[in-house]
Structure 1
C-alpha cells in the first residue's frame, strides 16, 4: 500500500510561485549585473604577485578591498565561482518557472476563442459600441482586410490578430535561458592561457592560467603554433602604432594547416581556440665578437619602477667571462645602448653596426622580438550568440499588439467590442473606423459609458 503526500502538490505550486515572482527575478538580475561589473573592473586570472602589487593592504582600495579580501571572495575569477554559477542557475530556474506558470498559460488563453452571447458582456470591454445597423458578414470582411483571424458561430463572432505578440515573451525567456546555458557551459569548459614567444619559435599552448573544472586542454596536444615573424609599426614620433604576429598552425606531422597575420582586435581562430595579440617584448640580441660566429644572447626586462619598458643583457668580451659589456634596448626600432665594464656609455648601435668595447669589436646582427599572446577557448560562445540573436527577435515579436474583437447580432441591435494588450490609441482608431464603415448614421456610433471610462483610465 502506497501513501501519497497530499501536501507535495501544494509545496510544488508554492515553489513555482516563488521562483516565478518578478521581484525575485529582478533581484537576481541586479546581482548578476553587479558581479559582472566587478569581474570587468577587477583583472581576472592574474598571478598572486599581480594582486599583491595592485591591491595592497595598506592602503586598501575603498578602505577594504585588499588582495586578501579579493582572493577570499574569489573576485579574481568571478565567472567561474560556485556562487556566481548558482545565481545564474537560480535566475534560469526563475525564468523557466515564469514561462510555464505565466507565459504558456497566457499563450494558451490567447489561442482559445470564446463568443460573447449577452450584451452585458460587451460592457466589460475596453471599447464597445451598440449599433442599429451592421451585420456579421460586413464586419468579417472589414476584419479580414486588417489581417484578423475570424471565428463565427451563429449570431456571434470572435476575431484576433497579433498572436505572435504572445509568443514573443516566450522567445525572450528561451533566448535568455540559452544565454545563461552558454555562459555556464563556457565557465565550466573554457580556459585561458598566456604565452610569450620569440620570433621563429614553435610552441604548444601549456601556460594555462585559468580553466573551468570540465576544461579539456588535451586537445591542444594535437597541434602547435609557430611564430613566423613578429614586428612593430611605429609612428613618426616614435610611438607604437600597431604590432603584428605572423602565425602558422602546425599539425603533429609538422605540416602547416593554417596561417594568419594577427594584430590587436584581429585574432586567429582554430578549432574553437582564439589567439589574441596582446603584448610584446624583446627576446634576444644576436651579436658577433671580432670574427666569431654569430651567437644569440637572451635579454630580460628590467624593473624601471614604472618609468617605461627596458630590456638588458650582459655580453662577455673574454672567453673566461672576466670582462663584458652591458646592452640595453627599449624597443624594436634597433637602437641599443652599449656600456663597458665601468658602466660608461660606449656607443649606440643599430643592427648591422659595430662598436669597440673592451678592446673587442662588437657587432649587432639583429634584435629578436617576442610576441605576447593570449589564448582563449569558450565553447559556450556559439550558444550565447545564438541566444542574443533570438533575444532581439523575441523583443521585436513582443512589440506586436495582440488585439481581440467580439460581435453579437441580437434582434435589431448589433454589438461590437474589443481590447488589446498595447497600442490602445491605435486600436481604438481602428475599431472606430470599422464602426464608421458599418454604420450609415452620423455622427459615429456612441461608445458605451462604461467603455469610455475604461478608455480614460487606461490612457
Structure 2
C-alpha cells in the first residue's frame, strides 16, 4: 500500500478489499437469520405479546420488524455492490492485458521444466513430424506460432484466453441479482384486494404497512366460481377479471391459483375467496295483530312505510358479527324502525336465524326470506420491477460458473529435434490456469495421436 495516500485513494483501497466483501457477506447472512427468526410486518400488539415492551422498542428502533426494507440492510447490499464493482475494476486491467496482449510470446524454458513434460522418439523426418504436429495443434487448439532455432523446431498454440473473463461474468450476475433485489425492495410492493362480484377497484392494501396503494388502472370482478370435492374441500376457484384503464376495458381474463393475470408489470394472483357483504334482502313483514304478511325487497340505505301507514323501516347496514347479549350471531342486517310519535330503535336480523325478530314482540316482525348474497375474490397483487434483473442475473450466474469451473486458458508447447535423417525426438508439455489433471490427459492423448 502506498504511503501518503489521498482520501479518494484510501476510499478506493477500502472498497477493493476482499476482507470487506467477506465481512459484508457475513453480516448479510447473520441479519438474514434475524429476519427469519423475528416476526416481520406484524402489529404492535403481536410484538408486545411475543417479545415484550423492551424488545419491541429495540425491534422498532432497528427496523427488525421490516428488516429487508431497513435502511441499514439496503446499505449493506449497496456496499457489497460497490465492493464488487471496485474489485473487478482493480483487477480487470491485469486480466485484460493477459487476454488481449499486443504480441503473443512464450518461454520455451518454462515449458521444459513442467511436470507434464513428455518426450517421444519417432521414426519420422523433421519436416514430416513438424507438419503433422502443426496440423494437430491447429485443428485441436488454434493458431500455431512456429519458431526455428536452427537446432530445433518450436510450436506453440493456445486457446481459451477469454475464459479468464468468467469470474467477471459471475461478478456481473451478482450485481444484477443485488440490483434487482434493491429495485424490487424500493419500488415494488405486495398487496391484497378483496373484490366483490360486480365491483371495481383501483386500490389495493399493502401487506406490510396496511396502507392503500394505487394500481394505475382498475380491476372489475365480473364473476367468481368455486368448485368443491365431495369432502367439501375447495377443488378450484376462478375469477373472471377485467382491466379498465382510462375508462376503457383493455383486458379480460380468468385467473386461477398459480395462473395469474399480468398487466404492465403488475401480477394479479388468485389468493382466496369468501362471502361478500350482501347489499339487499327480501323480508317477510308480519303484522303481529292480524297475522297478515307482506314480502318486500329492500337494499341497504332504502326506507319504506309499513302496512299501518305510519311506521317507517330503514335498512341501515350489514354487520359481519352481530352481538346479542354477549353472543355472536354471525352476519346480520341492521334495520331502524321509526314510529309516528318520534320514537325509533334498531333491530338486528341475523342471516343464520331468519325468524329471530319474532322474539321482539313488536307490532311488526321481520323474517328474512333471502339475501342478495354474493362472494368476493381475494386477490394477491405484486409488483417487482427488479425481477428481470434477477432473471438475467441467474442466467449470467450459470454461464459464468460454467466458464469459470469447466473452461480454462490452455497453452501447448511442442519441441522437435532431429536425431537422424529419418528420426526425430518430440517433446510436448502445456499449462492451464485450472484443471491441470484434465490438461495432463489431453497432453497424453495428443502424445499418442502423434506417435500413431
TM-score by length of 2: 0.74
1:146 is aligned, of 140, 155, 164, to 140
> 1:418, CA displacement in angstroms?
0.8
Q: 1:124 to 1:28 in 2, by over 3 A?
A: farther
Q: 1:193 to 1:19 in 2, by over 3 A?
A: same
SS of 2:258's equivalent in the other structure is coil
> 1:301, CA displacement in angstroms?
4.4
**What's the counterpart of residue 309 of structure 2?**
none
Q: How many residues align?
A: 395
**What's the counterpart of residue 335 of structure 2?**
316
> 1:323, CA displacement in angstroms?
6.4
Larger Rg: 2
**What's the counterpart of residue 167 of structure 2?**
169
**What's the counterpart of residue 180 of structure 2?**
182
- Distance, in Å, in 1 between the alignment partners of 2:261 and 2:329 is 29
Q: Deviations over 1:107-132 (max 9, x none)?
A: 532454322244xx224434213445
> 1:9, CA displacement in angstroms?
7.1
Q: Which runs of 5+ in 2 are unaligned?
A: 285-294, 301-314, 420-424
Q: 1:16 to 1:124 in 2, by over 3 A?
A: farther
> 1:433, CA displacement in angstroms?
2.4
Aligned pairs (5 A) from 1:50-89: 50-57=42-49, 60=51, 66-89=55-78
- Distance, in Å, in 2 between the alignment partners of 1:136 and 1:9 is 57
Question: Does 2:222 align with 1:228?
Answer: yes
- Distance, in Å, in 1 between the alignment partners of 2:189 and 2:263 is 15
Q: Deviations over 1:283-340 (max 9, x none)?
A: 3134211221242576544499xxxx99522443856674644425xxxxxxx45462
**What's the counterpart of residue 351 of structure 1?**
none
> 1:37, CA displacement in angstroms?
5.2
Q: 1:310 to 1:250 in 2, by over 3 A?
A: farther
SS of 2:408's equivalent in the other structure is coil
TM-score by length of 1: 0.73
Question: Does 2:350 align with 1:327?
Answer: yes
CA RMSD of aligned residues (A): 3.7
Aligned pairs (5 A) from 1:18-417: 18-36=14-32, 38-39=34-35, 44=40, 46=41, 50-57=42-49, 60=51, 66-102=55-91, 105-106=94-95, 108-112=97-101, 113-118=104-109, 121-133=110-122, 135-154=129-148, 155-205=153-203, 207-208=205-206, 220-221=215-216, 223-253=217-247, 255-285=248-278, 286-290=280-284, 291-296=295-300, 299-302=318-321, 311-316=330-335, 322=345, 324-327=347-350, 336-338=352-354, 340=356, 359-398=365-404, 399-409=406-416, 414-417=426-429
Q: 1:400 to 1:81 in 2, by over 3 A?
A: same
- Distance, in Å, in 2 between the alignment partners of 1:145 and 1:69 is 68
